[in-house]
Amino acid sequence: MSRTALGPAAEQAIAWMVRLRSGRDEARQQAQFRQWLAQDPANAQAWEQLQRGMGQHYEVARQAPDALRDTLLQPSIGRREVLRGIGGLGVVGGALWLGVRSEGGRVLIADLRTDTGERRTLMLPDGSRLSLNAGTAVDVQFTAGQRLLRLYRGALVIQVAPDVSRPFIVRSEQGDARALGTRFLVEQQADATRVVVLEHAVRASLPGGAWLDLAAGQAALLTTKRIEPLQGSQAYRADWLEGHLSVLDEPLDAVVDALRPYRPGVIRVSPQVRQLRVQGVFPLDDSERTLAALEETMPIRVRRFGGWVTVIEAR
């Protein structure tokens, strides 16, 4: 799915925020940054708006000890995490700055949105039952010829009402999941889309034409280049419907990704512990309890800085 990019000044402001906090060649970076600010009033305005939305996060990072700063401001902090923080600017202000056709703008003004820690189930106009995980954004586009959900962020489970005249499609950044039956899950990840069939069947397809039919109990990842079938049952991916996070031998980094929609602020994971394997069932609605359980059973330490920043590092 094609999306219009942020304006040049906004994109450059995000790039400068990451670059200035990388700790590399600080004097030279500062000189180049001042030159960039002076080039165009739009640059200074974009920088001011970005700092207003993210300032608290980076003020905590700036004051942290060197070892922690490396984790908080590691180069992997990128556009998606910055855009998540920009949500603090508010629906109107954030959408205007990002542009309503950008990724962040789409999320802010989507037809259906859930906030941090919020799950929601509702009936669509056709009688289909839609459940949204926390931190999810969806547009609903029903016409006389089709029923379309555009998933911009998060995860959903849809129980599709029969309608032989109108196909039901969930469209993500990577491709489509078209109902051939009744119930399935779609999850938008950073660089892929997960499709899990809970009942009957789904046809997963890419914009280039590749497709794969999935039966109940089957799942696949959609990337920009291919559809990758997943081995074993993936039905547990929908356990968030009951407030549970079920983990079957996954890296700690993936577990933290699942917790992010349920915890305000920013969670950073040290590269040294990201690939530690995790298994278990954890409560989504009590992220502190989940973090405590992980800290108790794994060689990690969880450090909290106010209510905004959480750092997970090696013990």
Structural domain that includes position 232: 112-237
Same domain for 215 and 119: yes
Predicted confidence (pLDDT) per residue in 256-266, tens digit: 999 999 998 78
Same domain for 172 and 78: no
**How much is the pLDDT for 205?**
98
195 in Cβ contact with 185 (< 8 Å): yes
Q: Which of 91, 108, 125 is the last residue of a domain?
A: 108
Predicted confidence (pLDDT) per residue in 283-304, tens digit: 999 999 999 999 999 999 999 8
Largest CA distance in the chain: 65
Flag the least confident range among 29-33, 38-42, 243-247, 287-291.
Answer: 29-33
pLDDT at 211 over 70: yes
Distance, in Å, from the CA atom of 63 to the CA atom of 1, rounded to the nearest integer, reads 40
Any domain includes 2: no
CATH code of residue 297: 3.55.50.30
95 in Cβ contact with 81 (< 8 Å): no
CATH code of residue 131: 2.60.120.1440
Q: Which of 66, 84, 108 is the last residue of a domain?
A: 108
Which tokens sit at 37?
A: 């600010």
Same domain for 212 and 120: yes
Is the full-model pTM beyond 0.85?
A: no
For residue 21, give the H/E element and its range.
none
Question: What is the Cα 193 distance to its own chain's centre?
Answer: 11
pLDDT at 188 over 90: yes
Same domain for 104 and 122: no
pLDDT confidence band for 23 (50 / 70 / 90): low
Any domain includes 3: no
Q: Mean pLDDT throughout 200-224?
A: 96
Most confident range, picked from 10-24, 67-81, 124-138? 124-138
